[in-house]
Structure 1
Amino acid sequence: MFIAVYEFEIKEGTEASFREAWLEVTKVIYQHCGSFGSRLHLSDKPNVLVGYAQWPSREQWEKDHKLTGLLYENAREEMRNCLVQSRTVYKLEVSDDYLQTTLASEYEQKITTK
């Protein structure tokens, strides 16, 4: 599994617009490019957001994905309009994985009530 970590420095007052556009772009990438989706995080730095995108492989991430469509193009343009700068901070291969989608206490409760 491959992970790309992005840093987005956005213009003051554009967070809501950026987040909305980011979501639309991410949906299209997920639906048409073979990614596992992405998460966007607020950082401890003003006007800096961090994105985490998960892919089955680096090769899938590196493919030349020809994306079109008015919704996608408008959302990409809106993201660009909000940006001061963006960069890929890390390109990571997963070595070990124990990320869970439920809390341990919730998991234990499911097991004991069955």
Structure 2
Amino acid sequence: MFVAMYEFEIKDGKEAEFREAWLEVTKAIYHHCGSLGSRLHRTDNPSVLVGYAQWPSREQWEKDKDVTDERYLLSRQKMRECLVQSRTIHTLDVCDDYLQA
């Protein structure tokens, strides 16, 4: 299993809009690109959210994510409009796992 972690710096007053768009983008990537899903977390800094997405493998994550679904494209644009900046903060290969549902 492979995990990618992202940091999102959100513009003031845009958290709810960002989270709504993030969910739509995440659903599309799950349905069209083979991800195992994602989680979004608040940090101690109210303008920073951290997300991580799980994938079956690094190779699946690296594949071209050419999603043409109109809802995905609109949500992706909304996400970008809510951001000051974003970045991938870690790419991680799982070596041991005892995460429980």
TM-score range, shorter chain: over 0.9
1:99 correspondence with 2:99: yes
TM-score by length of 2: 0.98
Alpha carbon RMSD of aligned pairs, Å?
0.5
Give, in angstroms, the shift of residue 18 of structure 1: 0.1
Question: How many aligned residue pairs are there?
Answer: 101
Structure 1 Cα separation of the partners of residues 65 and 25 of structure 2: 13
In the superposition, the TM-score normalised over structure 1's length comes to 0.87
The structure number with the bigger radius of gyration is: 1
Determine the structure 1 residue equivalent to 2:87: 87
Q: Are 1:27 and 2:27 counterparts?
A: yes
Give unpaired runs (5+ residues) of structure 2: none
Structure 1 segments, 4+ long, off by >4 Å, are none
Gaps in structure 1 of 5+ consecutive residues: 102-114
- Percent identity reads 70
Alignment-mate amino acid for residue 86 of structure 1: S
CA distance in 2, matches of 1:58, 1:94: 10
Which has the larger strand fraction?
2
Residue by residue, what CA displacement relative to the aligned partner does 1:34-86 show, whole Å, maximum 9, x if unpaired? 00000000111121000010000000000012111210111000000000000
Amino acid at match of 2:57: S
Name the counterpart of 1:41: 41
- Amino acid in the other structure paired with 1:54: Q
SS of alignment partner, residue 54 of structure 1: strand
